[in-house]
Amino acid sequence: MNIIEVQGGVTAPQGFKAAGIHCGIRKNKEKLDLALLVSDRPCATAAVYTQNKVKGAPILVTQQNIADGYSQAMLCNSGNANTCNPNGVELAQACCELAAQSLGLKASDIVIASTGVIGQPLPLEPFAKGIPEITACLSRTGGTLAAQAIMTTDTHHKEFAVEFSLGGKTCRIGAMTKGSGMINPNMATMLTFITTDVAISPAMLNQALQAEVKQSLNQINVDGDTSTNDMATVMANGQAGNAEITQLNADYALFCDALHQVCVWACRQIAKDGEGATKLLECSVSNARSAQVGLAIAKSIISSDLFKAAMFGQDANWGRVLCAIGYTEGDFSIDKVELRLKSEKGEVLVCQNAAYFPFSEEEAAEVLSASEIQILVDMHDGEHFAQAWGCDLSYEYVRINGDYRS
Query: What positions carry a catalytic annotation?
Result: 189
> Is 401 assigned to a binding site?
yes
> Is 394 assigned to a binding site?
no
State the virtual CA torsion across 146, 212, 278, 286 in degrees, nearest 10: -160
Angle between helices 305-312 and 319-326 in degrees, nearest 10: 160
> Is 278 assigned to a binding site?
no
15 backbone φψ class: left, alpha, beta (φ>0; ψ -120 to 50): left
> Is 45 assigned to a binding site?
no
> Is 272 assigned to a binding site?
no
Backbone angles phi, psi at 26, to 5 degrees: -95, 145
352's CB contacts (< 8 A; 6+ apart) are 338, 339
Rounded to whole angstroms, how far apart are CA atoms 220 and 192?
13
DSSP strand pairing (372-378 vs 280-288): parallel
For residue 333, the one-letter residue type is S
308's CB contacts (< 8 A; 6+ apart) are 281, 302, 390, 391, 392, 393
Rounded to whole angstroms, how far apart are CA atoms 112 and 44?
16
296's CB contacts (< 8 A; 6+ apart) are 328, 329, 330
Annotated binding residues for substrate, as ranges? 152, 178, 189, 275, 401, 406
Annotated binding residues, as ranges? 152, 178, 189, 275, 401, 406
